[in-house]
A and B are shown apart, each in its own frame.
Chain A
Amino acid sequence: MNAVITRQASSFCMTSTPVLQVQHLGLSRGGRRLVAPLDLQLSAGERGLIFGGNGSGKTTFMETLCDLLPVTEGEVKHVGRIGYVPQEPRFPDHLTCKDYLNQLHQLSAAPKRQRQPDVSQALGLFQLQNHAFDPIGSLSRGWRQRMNLARAWLSAPELLLLDEPQTALDPSGMQALQDAIEQSQVSAVLIVAPQGVGCDDLAPLLLELQPPASA
């Protein structure tokens, strides 16, 4: 058994329609199963935290949830758009923060009226206003992580998936992240991170992933 469910996900369900439903999702990498089948459900406004150590399948889980990896076992259903904070973000380094977010804002399938927060609000959420006209490639690791977060929050996705969002953030960045999560009334937020790295208070614990026995 590779996954230890510390609390039933269903206990977090509220009355509204689920934004994310995961049923018997099996994860494997290189033909090897990472965790036991997972069940999870999140509705709008809900938050959840999943702990997992190195190699426990956190990133594979998140990438499967946002359609970047195919579902090989079980079922994943989500409603609306996803904001994803990858652990290792990739950016067009030659673009300025504002230009890049403007383009992503345009890419959003949501009608213009519903695309809140817009670019300046997303920059403001993570105190990036002073870097709005800096090329992304010139940002430090911590500011790039803030861009990673701002990118996910842009255009009000219905589901926010944060893979180790605390990476490289200073205390002020952590505070901005906490504030942003608390202000996300509409979005459901799911965070994966190792235990004890500063994410423990960001959301209620849903379950804990453990690495395969032989890993």
Chain B
Amino acid sequence: MNPLLKGFLREVMPWTWQVFFALAVCTAASLSFDASLGAHSLGTYLAYISILPMVLLFRIGSVLDRRAQQGWPHQEILRNANGHKAPLNEMIGSAILLGATLLLGMAPIVSGLYPMPNPSSGLYPVHVQFTTQDDGTELWLFDLGSTVPKTARLLLTVDWSEATVSPENAVVQSPDERQVRPIPGELVQWDLSEAEARVGKLVLQPNAQSGLILRKQLCRLEIPRPEADALPRLLLHQFLFFLPLFAILLAWFRCGRIRGSLSAMATFTIASIAALPLSPVDLGSGPVAALAKMLVLVKLALPPVEGLLATGHRFDRLADTTPELGIMGWLMLGGLALWLATRRRPPRKG
């Protein structure tokens, strides 16, 4: 390993910090999976683990500040004509530490220290309410609020009391002519297509003049919980979410010439906005609403990557909802930030 990279890794993560991270992971596992303490939720565990990359972000910010006080920027200007060696090493170092942190997050589960209860047996899927509209033309319009996992399905309750069709002839179908036969006394189960899951909206239509009535209050979206073996994939998602943020931190610090701790704060703000799930809420008016609208605008300008940081109680709904294009866009944003960070620093003002 080259001395620059080794020096950066040692400075960011001395043994005291390594112990702190290991203890933090153990605590997270205890609070999530312990028989008496734990919330028995993978989403809770992922939420605790996601704190560590953020701590790492601020830690790197403070190390960048310290290195600036130690005269490293001067040495870079003096020794490196194109100025890319130090930021590239810092980026590689950040990626290694991020990867190691998330791998550490797998340790309590993989080692069997905290056997995670497998909640994905189908016994306890998540049921989510959503908006249902009826336009009076016997079209059932469903708005799921946002992208949902491809594995989700609709559970619909149909009232047959005014039905004019026999159960054998009753059909509910979508515009692309996929159909399902409703059976009296049973829930209508509609598996979402990839497009429907992505858009989060769909239209279904029963037979014309069938008299089938949709019980809107009883409509549910059923989302299977990710299984225990989904943990590596979900941690990889966190890796993809946080990796560009370290490049953005370096860009703030090096190109924006902002102090490392403030750069970390600015990056954390971007991360918070990127992780914000948008839902159709009327924001109203007033200064707070104006601020919220501004945040929404910034959020819309960023790639839709909130699904990569699926944590907490809504993680089942967000996990695996990020489109590949969103991930590509997010990584490209990180690439752009890294390119900015590797540009040679101009002399400071006299």
**Contacting pair A102 B3 (CB below 8 A):** yes
Q: Which residue of B lies closest to A151 (CB)?
A: B75
**Contacting pair B71 A155 (CB below 8 A):** no
Of B25-33, B78-86, B94-102, B139-147, the segment with at least 4 beta carbons within 8 Å of chain A is: B78-86
A90 interface hit (Cβ, 8 Å): yes
B2 interface hit (Cβ, 8 Å): yes
**Contacting pair A66 B2 (CB below 8 A):** no
Q: With a CB–CB cut-off of 8 A, which chain A residues contact B79?
A: 81, 104, 107-109, 155, 157
**Contacting pair A92 B4 (CB below 8 A):** no
A69 interface hit (Cβ, 8 Å): yes
Q: With a CB–CB cut-off of 8 A, which chain B residues contact A72?
A: 350
B69 interface hit (Cβ, 8 Å): yes
Instruction: Please pick, from A86, A93, A107, the residue contacting B86 in the complex, using a CB distance under 8 A.
Output: A107
**Contacting pair A106 B347 (CB below 8 A):** no
A196 interface hit (Cβ, 8 Å): no
**Contacting pair A68 B67 (CB below 8 A):** no
Q: Which residue of B lies closest to A90 (CB)?
A: B71
A75 interface hit (Cβ, 8 Å): no
Within 8 A of B (CB), among A34-78: 60, 64, 66-70, 72
Main secondary structure of the interface of A (DSSP, over half): loop
Known A81-B81, A103-B7: A70·B70 in contact at CB below 8 Å: no
**Contacting pair B347 A103 (CB below 8 A):** no
Distance in angstroms between the alpha carbons of A29 and B349 in the assembled complex:
11
Within 8 A of A (CB), among B321-338: none
Q: Mark A95-114, 1 if CB is under 8 A from B, else 0.
A: 10001001111111100000
With both chains docked as a complex, state the minimum distance between the C-beta of B347 and any C-beta of chain A, in angstroms: 4
Known A72-B350, A90-B71, A107-B86: A67·B4 in contact at CB below 8 Å: no
**Contacting pair A103 B4 (CB below 8 A):** yes
Distance in angstroms between the alpha carbons of A39 and B111 in the assembled complex:
70
Name the residue in B71, B86, B346 with the highest tally of chain A Cβ atoms < 10 Å from its Cβ: B71
B77 interface hit (Cβ, 8 Å): yes
Known A90-B70, A107-B86: A29·B350 in contact at CB below 8 Å: yes
B74 interface hit (Cβ, 8 Å): yes
A91 interface hit (Cβ, 8 Å): yes
A83 interface hit (Cβ, 8 Å): yes
What's the tally of chain B residues with a CB closer than 8 Å to chain A? 26
A142 interface hit (Cβ, 8 Å): no
With both chains docked as a complex, state the minimum distance between the C-beta of A171 and any C-beta of chain B, in angstroms: 28
With both chains docked as a complex, state the minimum distance between the C-beta of B57 and any C-beta of chain A, in angstroms: 22
**Contacting pair B7 A99 (CB below 8 A):** yes
Q: Mark A199-215, 1 if CB is under 8 A from B, else 0.
A: 00000000000000000
Distance in angstroms between the alpha carbons of A157 and B69 in the assembled complex:
23
Distance in angstroms between the alpha carbons of A70 and B350 in the assembled complex:
7
B76 interface hit (Cβ, 8 Å): yes
A190 interface hit (Cβ, 8 Å): no
Distance in angstroms between the alpha carbons of A11 and B82 in the assembled complex:
33
Distance in angstroms between the alpha carbons of A70 and B69 in the assembled complex:
20
A126 interface hit (Cβ, 8 Å): no
What's the tally of chain A residues with a CB closer than 8 Å to chain B? 34
Q: With a CB–CB cut-off of 8 A, which chain A residues contact B77?
A: 66-68
With both chains docked as a complex, state the minimum distance between the C-beta of A106 and any C-beta of chain B, in angstroms: 5
With both chains docked as a complex, state the minimum distance between the C-beta of A62 and any C-beta of chain B, in angstroms: 12
Instruction: Please pick, from B11, B71, B85, the residue contacting A107 in the complex, using a CB distance under 8 A.
Output: B85
A174 interface hit (Cβ, 8 Å): no
Q: With a CB–CB cut-off of 8 A, which chain A residues contact B72?
A: 92
With both chains docked as a complex, state the minimum distance between the C-beta of A20 and any C-beta of chain B, in angstroms: 14
Instruction: Please pick, from A29, A66, A91, the residue contacting B78 in the complex, using a CB distance under 8 A.
Output: A66
Known A68-B348, A72-B350: A106·B3 in contact at CB below 8 Å: yes
Name the residue in B74, B76, B348 with the highest tally of chain A Cβ atoms < 10 Å from its Cβ: B74
Distance in angstroms between the alpha carbons of A90 and B68 in the assembled complex:
10
With both chains docked as a complex, state the minimum distance between the C-beta of B260 and any C-beta of chain A, in angstroms: 15
Distance in angstroms between the alpha carbons of A83 and B79 in the assembled complex:
8
With both chains docked as a complex, state the minimum distance between the C-beta of B74 and any C-beta of chain A, in angstroms: 6
A89 interface hit (Cβ, 8 Å): yes
A84 interface hit (Cβ, 8 Å): yes
Q: With a CB–CB cut-off of 8 A, which chain A residues contact B71?
A: 86, 89-91
Which residues on B are within 8 Å of A, measured CB to CB?
Answer: 2-4, 7, 11, 67, 69-72, 74-82, 85-86, 346-350
14 contacts between A and B (CB under 8 A): A28-B350, A67-B347, A68-B74, A68-B77, A69-B347, A70-B348, A70-B350, A81-B81, A92-B70, A99-B3, A103-B4, A106-B85, A107-B76, A107-B79
A-B contacts besides A108-B80, A109-B85, 20 pairs, CB < 8 Å: A28-B350, A60-B350, A64-B350, A66-B77, A67-B78, A67-B347, A68-B77, A68-B347, A69-B347, A69-B348, A70-B347, A70-B350, A92-B70, A93-B70, A102-B3, A103-B4, A104-B79, A107-B76, A107-B79, A109-B82
